[in-house]
Amino acid sequence: MKTSRITRIALFTALMAVSVWVVPPFSVPGLGVPFTLQSLFVVLAGFLLAPVEAFVAMLAYLALGAAGLPVFSGGQGGLQVILGPTGGFLLLFPAVAATIASFREKSDKIWVWILLGFIVAVVFLYPLAVIWTSVVTQTAYGVLLVGMIPYAIMDVLKIVIAAFLSRKIDRALHHE
């Protein structure tokens, strides 16, 4: 594997780890799912990396957290976090980033990227991840899904930010 690919993977793994420290964790009362900037970097990885790179970066992030490093929300680490209420989201991050990267390569239109990010990171991720949360917390699926609306709204904003950031970054890197 080329050094440049390893560097991109390591950079996004590090960005994921730092993303939970940028905004102090807070959550909608009763849900136990923290609001973080993780989804911004998951989507940004999908917009900027090749599918395999995006997948490996997110997998490496999960491995660091599973090993106990404090890279999950609230400075937590360990397998218990992955097995906890947010585990469904965490475990789907590699698939979300790789899927966005796979489809992003088919269009250079920013509105397509935003729509793609929304479909994969909200329409796909939320219903599946909430199944996990529902089982772990023994809370009704529908109640949790409705409770995720504030998070989904914020994620749409993060998807738009990621699309514009990635466009700027991509242009800067290719106009050297």
Is-contact 122 156, C-beta < 8 A?
A: yes
pLDDT > 70? residue 147:
yes
**DSSP secondary structure of 84-108:** STTHHHHHHHHHHHHHHHHHHTT--
Is-contact 24 68, C-beta < 8 A?
A: no
Q: What mean pLDDT is predicted for residues 3-29?
A: 88
Q: What are the residue ranges spanned by the domains of the chain?
A: 3-168
Residue 161's Cβ-count burial label (10 Å; 0-12, 13-18, 19+) is middle
Give residue 29's pLDDT: 67
pLDDT digits (tens, 9 = 90+) for 25-79: 666 666 666 778 999 999 999 999 999 999 999 999 999 999 999 999 888 999 9
Q: What mean pLDDT is predicted for residues 126-149?
A: 94
Distances (CA, A) of 164 to 35, 49, 148, 159: 21, 15, 25, 9
Q: Which pTM value belongs to this model?
A: 0.92
- Computed over every residue of the chain, the mean pLDDT equals 91
CATH architecture of residue range(s) 3-168: Orthogonal Bundle (1.10)
Give residue 33's pLDDT: 65
